[in-house]
């Protein structure tokens, strides 16, 4: 069985498009949150995830969009981009799309191919917001009460496989806004229990063009271009 694991798509439809046209031959798909914010392809991303994912959970950005959390004053490229794309989502997403985001669970247990999966965007202690590194001692503590073979997380936009005594933690990285210095879309494939981290180039110009057409400001477009083309290594502070 071939399982596709995606996270932090962040409304980047060309990035998701590149992954799914390259990985057509999968049997199941898991999505670890943050479908929205930072780009303008949220409608296509939500529609695809709704139709194709076998398990999906809520990220902090899905929560903020669905609960109409007003963004704070922009003090960084990330916040400027988040604020403008969030307003664009509120103008363009349907009620059905917003309901979908609002009903996503904070965590999910699912069994596939004889493996027990546990999905949470950040961590079991703080499902939406805690930033945890690739540190086995920290994850051992956080996952003490969780029974699973593979724990899928996202949030940091930094891909890794962290091997613990009884389980593995997989962060597939970010499809739509990598932050490890490599601008290619990041994701994972699990085949016969083996996890592989994968990267694929996508048309960043197309993502920028769609954001320009959506009417984002020049400053937001410049911020998006800097972040996406560099695979920014910054972590935005909320
Ligand atoms: Fe994210």
Q: What is the pLDDT of residue 233?
A: 74
CA distance 186 to 159: 7
pLDDT tens-digit profile of 137-180? 999 999 999 999 999 999 999 999 999 999 999 999 999 999 99
CA of 156 to the centre of ligand 1 (A): 7
Q: What is the pLDDT of residue 76?
A: 87
Asked if pLDDT for residue 237 goes beyond 80, the answer is no
Q: What is the pLDDT of residue 132?
A: 94
Q: What is the pLDDT of residue 238?
A: 53
For residue 115, is it within any domain? no
Asked if pLDDT for residue 225 goes beyond 60, the answer is yes
Among 53, 143, 144, which residue's Cα sits nearest to residue 105? Answer: 53
For residue 142, is it within any domain? no
pLDDT tens-digit profile of 203-220? 999 999 999 999 999 999
236 pLDDT band (50/70/90 cuts)? low
pLDDT tens-digit profile of 67-121? 999 888 877 889 999 999 999 999 999 999 999 999 999 999 999 999 999 999 9
CA distance 188 to 3: 8
For residue 98, is it within any domain? yes
CA of 78 to the centre of ligand 1 (A): 11
Q: What is the pLDDT of residue 62?
A: 98
- Structurally, the chain folds into a number of domains equal to 1
For residue 222, is it within any domain? yes
Q: What tokens were used for 144? A: 């003490």
pLDDT tens-digit profile of 184-205? 999 999 999 999 999 999 999 9
pLDDT tens-digit profile of 42-68? 999 999 999 999 999 999 999 999 999
CA of 225 to the centre of ligand 1 (A): 17
CA of 183 to the centre of ligand 1 (A): 15
For residue 33, is it within any domain? yes
CA of 24 to the centre of ligand 1 (A): 24
Instruction: Give me the CATH number covering residue 53.
Output: 3.60.21.10
CA of 114 to the centre of ligand 1 (A): 29
Asked if pLDDT for residue 22 goes beyond 70, the answer is yes
For residue 184, is it within any domain? yes
CA distance 128 to 101: 14
Q: What is the pLDDT of residue 65?
A: 98
Strand pairing report for 160-163 and 150-152: unpaired
CA distance 89 to 39: 9
CA distance 19 to 119: 20
For residue 72, is it within any domain? yes
For residue 68, is it within any domain? yes
Domain of residue 61, residue span: 2-106+172-230
């Amino acid at each position: 069985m071939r399982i596709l694991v995606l996270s932090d798509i962040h409304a980047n439809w060309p990035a998701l498009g590149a992954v799914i046209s390259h990985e057509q031959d999968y049997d199941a798909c898991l999505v670890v949150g943050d479908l929205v914010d930072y780009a303008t392809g949220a409608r296509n991303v939500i529609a695809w995830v709704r139709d194709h994912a076998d398990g999906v959970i809520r990220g902090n950005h899905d929560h903020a969009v669905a609960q109409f959390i007003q963004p704070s004053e922009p003090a960084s490229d990330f916040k400027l981009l988040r604020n403008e794309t969030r307003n664009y989502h509120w103008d363009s997403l349907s009620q059905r799309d917003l309901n979908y985001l609002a009903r996503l669970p904070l965590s999910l247990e699912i069994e596939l191919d004889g493996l027990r999966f546990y999905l949470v965007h950040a961590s079991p202690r703080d499902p939406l917001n805690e930033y945890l590194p690739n540190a086995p001692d920290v994850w051992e503590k956080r996952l003490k009460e969780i029974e699973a073979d593979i724990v899928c997380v996202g949030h940091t936009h930094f891909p890794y496989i962290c091997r613990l005594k009884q389980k593995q933690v997989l962060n597939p990285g970010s499809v739509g806004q990598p932050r490890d210095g490599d601008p290619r879309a990041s994701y994972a494939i699990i085949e016969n229990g083996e996890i592989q981290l994968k990267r694929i180039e996508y048309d960043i110009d197309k993502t920028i063009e769609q954001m320009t057409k959506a009417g984002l400001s020049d400053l937001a477009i410049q911020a998006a271009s800097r972040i996406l083309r560099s695979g920014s290594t910054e972590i935005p502070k909320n």
